């Protein structure tokens, strides 16, 4: 079968020269893609091509992104390649390149697809803080379901429809405050960055526990190790924290501190408290 068609074929090795992300040189921009954007951002805004008639559907960007996400969820980000994604979809690697020109584009598609659209949150949900808390709580299951998401540099640059929708939804929570627009953007950015840091911490804790278990067991929780290793004579401040229960972290949770609402960690609560102070200060005449 001609490997340039969109027909199914047996898996084949990818013989194309690899670029910076481990994939082939960039091909010409497909029809329907906006001009003037980096290729790996433009692909996020490409208009869907008309469907083909035939016994089986052709490849789509959503389908390709879903396959990449499923592969990363099951086997880790290192398992994701153009060849593996094409194989999982039952197409040749060359067929995939007709839709996605590089692994960079594939990763960008995966990030925007995994993020999904934001939960609709309007004024009926409460004040600015209640609305932001609702959105932040809605993000946590996504971050937990895709542990590779927060570690991927593409998460910073995948300015696709879902990413902009999340940014708009979070900014809209502050629309009735007198906070300057630039400060709103910065505040939302701090919140978003902390959510990614929280997800990285969760992932790192889980990976460390597995690493220690594979090496023969022992205590892999760093908080428990601190409590065991601290010396009141050499580390008096740490010893007081241990005695005060600061390191009595429940398994699988990065902090034992109480939160204002279920699902939000202490760091998020502190950031929201800071935004509350900003809102109050901006409201002063």
Residues 243 and 139 in one domain: yes
pLDDT at residue 251 tops 60: no
Boundary of a domain, candidates 92, 115, 138: 115
Residues 87 and 103 in one domain: yes
**Contact (CB, 8 A) for 171 and 184:** yes
Q: So what's the pLDDT on residue 113?
A: 96
Residues 60 and 148 in one domain: no
Tell me the whole-structure pTM to 2 decimals. Answer: 0.78
Domain residues for 238? 123-283
Boundary of a domain, candidates 115, 135, 156: 115
Residues 111 and 177 in one domain: no
Residues 9 and 142 in one domain: no
pLDDT at residue 261 tops 60: no
d(CA 99, CA 47): 12
What is the token pair recorded at 38?
Answer: 């980096």
Work out how many domains the chain is built from and give that number.
Answer: 2
Boundary of a domain, candidates 99, 115, 131: 115
Residues 201 and 264 in one domain: yes
Residues 76 and 128 in one domain: no
Q: How confident is the model at residue 209 (pLDDT cuts 50, 70, 90)?
A: confident
Residues 14 and 98 in one domain: yes
When pLDDT is averaged across residues 181-188 and rounded to a whole number, the result is: 97
Residues 148 and 272 in one domain: yes
pLDDT at residue 106 tops 50: yes
The CATH number of whichever domain residue 38 belongs to comes to 1.10.10.60
pLDDT at residue 22 tops 50: no
Residues 89 and 215 in one domain: no
**Contact (CB, 8 A) for 259 and 268:** yes
Residues 77 and 151 in one domain: no
What is the token pair recorded at 84?
Answer: 């593996």
Residues 50 and 134 in one domain: no
The CATH number of whichever domain residue 240 belongs to comes to 1.10.357.10
Task: Express each pLDDT in 31-81 by its tens digit.
Answer: 667 778 999 999 999 987 655 565 555 889 999 999 999 999 999 999 999
């Amino acid at each position: 079968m001609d490997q340039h068609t969109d027909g199914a074929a047996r898996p084949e090795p990818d013989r194309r020269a690899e670029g910076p992300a481990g994939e082939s040189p960039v091909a010409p921009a497909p029809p329907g893609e906006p001009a003037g954007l980096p290729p790996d951002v433009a692909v996020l805004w490409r208009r869907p091509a008309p469907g083909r008639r035939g016994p089986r559907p052709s490849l789509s960007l959503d389908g390709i992104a879903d396959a990449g996400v499923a592969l990363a969820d099951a086997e880790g980000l290192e398992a994701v390649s153009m060849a593996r994604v094409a194989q999982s979809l039952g197409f040749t690697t060359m067929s995939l390149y007709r839709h996605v020109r590089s692994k960079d584009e594939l990763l960008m598609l995966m990030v925007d697809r995994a993020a999904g659209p934001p939960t609709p949150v309007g004024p009926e949900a409460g004040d600015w803080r209640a609305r932001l808390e609702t959105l932040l709580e809605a993000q946590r299951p996504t971050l937990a379901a895709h542990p590779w998401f927060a570690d991927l540099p593409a998460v910073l640059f995948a300015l696709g429809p879902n990413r902009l929708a999340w940014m708009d939804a979070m900014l809209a929570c502050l629309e009735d405050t007198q906070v300057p627009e630039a400060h709103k953007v910065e505040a939302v950015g701090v919140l978003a960055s902390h959510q990614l840091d929280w997800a990285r911490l969760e992932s790192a804790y889980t990976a460390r526990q597995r690493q220690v278990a594979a090496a023969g067991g022992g205590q892999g929780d760093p908080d428990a190790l601190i409590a065991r290793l601290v010396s009141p004579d050499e580390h008096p401040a740490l010893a007081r924290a241990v005695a005060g229960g600061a390191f009595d972290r429940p398994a699988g949770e990065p902090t034992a501190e109480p939160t204002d609402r279920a699902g939000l960690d202490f760091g998020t609560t502190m950031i929201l408290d800071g935004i509350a102070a900003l809102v109050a200060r901006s409201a002063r005449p």
